[in-house]
Structure 1
């Protein structure tokens, strides 16, 4: 074992423990002597002048309409701006982030200047993003498109593409019992925190190329560190692993931190967790190596010592049992002082930032404030889970254990200590910290309900009734104490939860409609059928029976039925027509004279099973069946059906033109514009037809049809780029067709022209353009958003 990172881990932890014990003793003294009460009572007397005031009729008129619910994000930000509250709201929010996440002192002139600049930039972005048709689910900065647009501005597109692929993997490997939305939120929060540290270190002080490099590293380091939250902290807190598995897993982590080498997974206790554990072991192992390799020699020791203290304090806190009645106050509080401070110390040291004693001290003392606030908010969920926190333990044992420290009193003692001992009685710090404390209690009162909240307060404030009356007066009467990061947290959770529900609904819809289409597609053999027709029907059904995605008819069904309210049975001929015409195009595409493909939809191509002549005739046969189905749209006006057939014929003609252009370009070097044109005629038109043909049947207006065409253009190109990428790097078993055919046929593709990395950038550019087209449409079906996500993330 190569013990080079932490030579004396127990000594390292003991020293940290001693520092935490001294801090705890100082806090305990405040609680015991109740000195925080008089200090904070005086602070509140100053603070309330800005937050508790009588509303005159004039002030109501000036402030305009009633304050909207913050869940209606766009209206809420708009109201804040109209009421003249947005500047103060953003100022306290950004100031708090500078204190909590960046460890800054608010009385620093440099920090004040940076906060003013960030507030001005954020205000501008917020007001731009909340104009027009917006909702919580379409916030630009909470979307993949918004993330990619930011990446383009910073020149880190490849990094963000990497991150999006990583986040997709994490989202599919978080068990439902671990609260996937919260796990993803915490991971994203850590990534943002690390990026904030790098941005603060580099803003305006380094050349653009160096800033790009540092942002690239920050995102990868943030992901690597943040991954420990879902896959160490949350996993070990959950019931996914057995006790013996948790013990084995903890030992693996401890060994990696002490030695700097990730141990092999070895044997595992239960086979049903093996797939999850293998994924986590590989992902954490890669993350560990990335962090280790990006540490400077002079900061590596500090980083891994902090990490070891963080992990051990979490582990000591985690193994406590709520049924154990004899934990000391020190056993309850010292581990959370350590884990809460180390989590943010690591966020800075992970980027090998220069040593900053002021940051280290402020962050060390600040951590328990956040931990106690979070534990207060989660105390009932923690109680249900049997978790030991200062609050759950006090609620269970305070009547039998008069020696137990009241965590709510300790919380206020921490606030008093921070304001006056750490931040030197700074007025801005007092303002922000009391804002935050009252905001937390207001949110708790709403979440718990007034009756339950009152009971909890009676329990936690029994020994300080006068101070409690003052605090509750502030909770009931104080205004302007809300924070942007809380709003973002709520919106992000809403987006993640809605996204999961919508994605599940999308997949369910695709599968249900696909099943119905598959049942309707086979061409029957009527009684008395001519013998020479039977082989054509058999060949056609062979091609139709393959494991196709059926994207085009599924799209048409969603648009026709969900969006335009058409009867499912009435549009079924259109769905069959689309799939017959699409399958015919694939048959021709696979012929030796064209792509010469050997497999399609996981089976031998038609010309391989029969011969080229039969394949050609079958393709023609399916085209005629497609036209015949369109003539069966009997429930629609004849003029409308004729318009649809005319449009269909035009699109089929253009697709033939696209295939001809493709064939003529074989062996030639194409530029991007030429490839986009061919791609649109070969692929984009099919997407367009699937969206526009139901719109024609529903008699949609030209503006809507124009929007559908724009969306289809970019979605089709994104689809083709993904196809090219899969042909370059995909799995033949997943694809159901050979990979590398484009190179073998000397075809120009997005990968061959642009290279793999730039092809991915182009795919995401068209993804963004399609998403932006979707937002500009009179109706923007959620299904199409998830179709786009499917297109860029699919593996087949």
Structure 2
């Protein structure tokens, strides 16, 4: 590392403190003189005309559509569009994001033009008329495809999955994911803002690709530095070791070796150290020479101001106003300045100034919303400190009054009394109070206001009047935030239910698979039964009968006991196919399901006979579906026979392909016959028993076939990247056997893209199925995220 990239940490922080102290002094004088009161009173009197709507007698008696709960993402967007409010809603939302995240002034014609373009694009997407989830994995992947950044999205999805799994107890995994996603989006927005219409498609793709990785790399600091140090997961000694390591990194520009770690969290810290080192080096290496020093300086100011705040103790009654507020000014501004410096953007003094003055507004709003949680945790914020010491320390600044002072200062001194800026900032302020009141309840809210607004009674009455009566102050980013949190929590809950269902069903299916021996069984029959049960007792996933059970019982309402023969039939057929597949004349596998293959334990001849036996046993089980009419059962058996023939055709294609280089089309066809049709059967057989429509069955077939291909590609990827212990079989067998696979034909990265393409197509097919498909969505997520 060149010496010129190193920073003088003490001098860097001292200069930042001086700037923050000057800003705080200006705010302090305005608070003391209460100059914000007449100024904002006039602003609010003008503002309220656009936000207090008196209902006519006709509308009262005619009823009409009431305002839905804004937490209901899709219904709320539909209602806004229906009532003609969507344009203004999106305009103020995007305008606010341009101010907060992009540091823009709203009096710029160019900025207003850009806001208009984003609003039009977003409105077009939100009003498409369906519930297409942009923020689902399939929706995001489709967007990534348009921008040519699929590989980066796949990379970051895998990273987010790993990070979520590593979040220790005592920390909020959903919050960590949401924050990471938000920061990635913020960095992408900054990069997009740096581009223009003259940026070539190739250059745009390259820069967006880097922005995704830079966003993750920067965002990783929140769960694994800020949140980790705040959560008290580490011991005091570990916290000191960890903080010293971060500090040294920012001062020297190089990540030290972890060395000897003393503490109980060594495994966690090793993972975090490795991941943060890669992230830091990626950011550092993507800095331009002229922006590196600025990046390190802002990062150090942010980290050190967080540390200064972190060690504060609520039991200490002697903190000065400067000690309370200056670190907040520093951390709230530097956190956003870093986002721009991360992408190596050119210096922009106006952006820096606006962002510096704006930061504390956002921080005070967040601290207000979280004051009760912070008080419970013993955290020192301006609100918790004032709540505890306001009657003992008359010198303390009232943070609620400072909040309004900052708003007045921003509107009139930073943004030059711009009308649109005033509108957006006051919208946001009133919305924050309305959301807080809704969350804590009227009684608690009134208690808070009696404490924090008692010194400004006339102004407070005006504010509370706005909180009660003002409308059209909601923001899309808040709706999106609530939707994302709800989605992440619901997905986690559904995933747990899915895995529990899988575990329970797998156990139940295992219990009904064993083939009993009959009395007076001949000596020639007994080895076949033993061999069949040996294969059935392996550690199989039982995915096909599990999917069949779900579709039959949960989707179609069939009795579980009635379809037991079908569950056995599917697993017998699948196990037979594996026995044949493992034979020396075919794949010559030595292990299957964590144990020696059947021909290794018995003989090749016994294996061949056992495979044939299980195939016939599967048909016999289908004839035992005696709770369904004979025509329906006959239709199912005919379908089963056709599927079995197709699977044999697929295996023949596989054998014929050995040593040959297949095309992607040929490989897809072979995969369809070998794997996709097996998944199809697990869905279509219960649909046949339920007499589902042909249209529904076609949608299920499309889902199953693409899910099957995605499953096979994941198998191919695991054969290259998998863990032998988890897989229960050695990796590298495809290469050893000279098999054509998606990886050998497309390469690793393109194979991953092909898997995601099939994933998206399968997910889109589910939209045509008029059933509860939550299980199938999680099944598909399981298919592409599994490690065995």
Q: What pairs with 1:66-215 in structure 2 (closer than 5 Å)?
A: 66-128=66-128, 131-132=129-130, 134=131, 139-215=132-208
Residue matched to 1:742: 734
2:549, 2:380 → 1: CA distance?
A: 52
Mean alpha-carbon deviation: is it higher for 493-502 or for 602-611?
602-611
Matches of 1:429 and 1:176, distance apart in 2: 42
User: What is the aligned counterpart of 1:592 among 584, 593, 603?
Assistant: 584
Q: Report the Cα offset of residue 695 of structure 1.
A: 1.4
- Pick from 660, 670, 689: which aligns with 1:668? 660
Question: Cα distance, 1:277 vs. partner?
Answer: 1.8
- After superposition, the CA RMSD in angstroms is 1.5
Query: Does residue 507 in structure 1 map to residue 499 in structure 2?
Result: yes
Work out whether 1:40 is the aligned partner of 2:40. Answer: yes
Contact 2:7 2:296 (C-alpha < 8 Å) held by counterparts: no
Deviating more after overlay: 628-637 vs 252-261: 628-637
* Match of residue 247, structure 1, among 240, 245, 265: 240
- Which of 740, 748, 763 lines up with 1:771 in the alignment? 763
Q: Give the structure 1 partner of residue 395 of structure 2.
A: 403
Candidates 527, 546, 564, aligned match of 1:554: 546
| TM-score (norm: length of structure 1) | 0.97
2:213 — aligned with what?
A: 220
Q: Distance in 2 between matches of 1:493 and 1:62?
A: 36
| Shift, 1:609, TM fit | 1.6
* Corresponding position of 1:263: 256
1:62 Cα deviation after fit = 11
Unaligned 5+ residue runs, structure 1?
none
**Do 1:2 and 1:259's aligned partners in 2 also have CA atoms closer than 8 Å?**
no
Distance 1:636 1:270 in 2: 63
Alpha-carbon displacement from aligned partner over 1:530-562 (angstroms, at most 9, x marks no partner): 222221121111111111111111111111111
Deviations 1:631-689 (A, max 9, x none): 22222223222222221111111101111111122222221111111101000011001
Match of 1:443 in 2: 435
Question: Residue 60 of structure 1: CA displacement?
Answer: 7.0
CA contact 1:3–1:258 (8 Å) conserved in 2: no
Q: Secondary structure at the match of 1:262?
A: coil
Other-structure match for 1:352: 344
The answer to whether the Cα contact below 8 Å between 2:636 and 2:685 also exists between their aligned partners in 1 is yes
Distance 2:147 2:60 in 1: 43
Q: Distance in 2 between matches of 1:309 and 1:270?
A: 28
2:516 to 496, 515, 524: 524
For 1:64 and 1:285, locate their aligned partners in 2 and report how far apart those are by CA, in whole Å.
58
Cα deviations by residue, 1:215-247 (Å, 9 ceiling, x for unpaired): 011111000000001111111111322222111
Aligned residue in 2 for 1:679: 671
Q: For 2:255 and 2:557, locate their aligned partners in 1 and report how far apart those are by CA, in whole Å.
A: 57
- Secondary structure of the residue aligned to 1:531 is coil
Question: Match for 1:608 among 568, 586, 600?
Answer: 600
Question: How far, CA to CA, are the matches of 2:617 and 2:314 in structure 1?
Answer: 70
Determine if contact 1:4/1:260 at 8 Å carries over to the other structure. Answer: no
| Number of corresponding residues | 788
Matches within 5 A, 1:239-638: 239-271=232-264, 273-638=265-630
Q: Given the superposition, is the C-alpha separation of residues 280 and 638 from structure 1 closer, same or farther in structure 2, using an over 3 Å criterion?
A: same
- Per-residue deviation, residues 132-158 of structure 1 (Å, max 9, x unmatched): 3x3xxxx52211111110111001111
User: Which stretch has the larger CA shift, 649-658 or 740-749?
Assistant: 740-749
Following TM superposition, where does structure 1 have runs of at least 4 consecutive aligned residues deviating by more than 4 angstroms?
1-4, 57-64
User: 378-387 vs 49-58, which deviates more?
Assistant: 49-58
Indicate if the aligned counterparts of 2:7 and 2:297 stay in contact, CA closer than 8 A: no
Q: Distance in 2 between matches of 1:717 and 1:8?
A: 56
Mapped to 1, the partners of 2:213 and 2:567 lie a distance apart of: 45
What do the CA deviations read for 1:725-777 (whole angstroms, capped 9, x no partner)?
11122222221112222222222111111111111111100000000001221
Distance, in Å, in 2 between the alignment partners of 1:69 and 1:57 is 24
Tell me the alpha carbon deviations over residues 598-622 of structure 1, each in whole angstroms, 9 at most, x when there is no partner: 1111111111122211110111111
Q: Give yes or no for contact 1:322–1:388 (8 Å, CA) kept in 2.
A: yes
Residues 221 and 276 of structure 2 are in contact (CA less than 8 Å); yes or no, is this contact kept in structure 1? yes
When residues 189 and 681 of structure 1 are mapped into structure 2, their CA distance, relative to the original with a 3 A threshold, is same
Give, in angstroms, the shift of residue 124 of structure 1: 0.8
Q: CA deviation at 1:260?
A: 1.5
Query: Residues of 1 paired with 2:311 and 2:732: CA distance?
Result: 52
Indicate the residue corresponding to 1:714 in structure 2. Answer: 706
Counterpart CA distance in 2 for 1:81 and 1:61 is 23
Q: Kindly tell me: are residues 18 and 63 of structure 1, through their superposed partners in 2, closer, same or farther at Cα, counting changes over 3 Å?
A: farther
Structure 1 distance, partners of 2:225, 2:298, is 16
Name the CA distance, whole Å, in 2 between partners of 1:63 and 1:683: 56
Bigger drift between 594-603 and 527-536 goes to 527-536
Deviates more, 1:457-466 or 1:68-77: 68-77
Contact kept, 8 Å, 1:182 with 1:493, in 2: the verdict is yes
SS in 1 for 2:525: helix
Contact 1:3–1:260 (CA under 8 A) maintained in structure 2: no
Q: Once the 2 structures are TM-superposed, how far is the Cα of residue 285 of structure 1 from its aligned partner? A: 0.8
How far did 1:494 drift? 0.8
Tell me: CA distance 1:325–1:2, structure 2 relative to 1, closer, same or farther (3 Å): farther
SS at 2:579 equivalent: helix
Provide the secondary structure at the position in 2 that maps to 1:107. Answer: coil
In structure 2, C-alpha distance between the alignment counterparts of 1:795 and 1:412, rounded to whole Å = 53
Q: Report the Cα offset of residue 64 of structure 1.
A: 5.1
793 and 61 in structure 1: CA distance in 2 versus 1, 3 angstrom threshold:
farther
Distance in 2 separating the partners of 1:557 and 1:349 = 53
SS of structure 1 residue aligned to 2:584: coil
For residue 83 of structure 1, report the CA deviation from its aligned partner: 1.3
Contact kept? 1:687, 1:716, Cα under 8 Å: yes
Residue range with higher mean Cα deviation, 713-722 or 746-755: 746-755
Please report the TM-score for the alignment, with normalisation by the length of structure 2.
Answer: 0.98
- Which whole-Å CA distance do the structure 1 matches of 2:5 and 2:381 have between them? 31
Of the structure 1 ranges 188-197 and 628-637, higher mean CA displacement relative to structure 2 is found in 628-637
Q: Which residue of 1 aligns with 2:52?
A: 52
Q: Name the SS of the counterpart of 2:134 in structure 1.
A: helix
The Cα offsets for residues 254-301 of structure 1, whole Å up to 9 and x where unpaired, read as: 111111221222233333x23322221111111011001011111000
Aligned partners of 2:375, 2:627: CA distance in 1, in Å?
Answer: 60
Identify which range, 50-59 or 624-633, moves more after superposition.
50-59
Shift of 1:792: 1.0
Please point out which of 725, 728, 739 is paired with 2:717. 725
Q: Please give the alpha-carbon distance, in whole angstroms, between the structure 2 residues aligned to 1:143 and 1:723.
A: 24
2:777 and 2:269 map into 1 onto residues whose CA distance is 32
Distance in 1 (alpha carbons) for counterparts of 2:10 and 2:430? 40
**Aligned partners of 2:487 and 2:3: how far apart in 1?**
44
| Change in CA separation of 1:621 and 1:486 when aligned onto 2, cut-off 3 Å | same
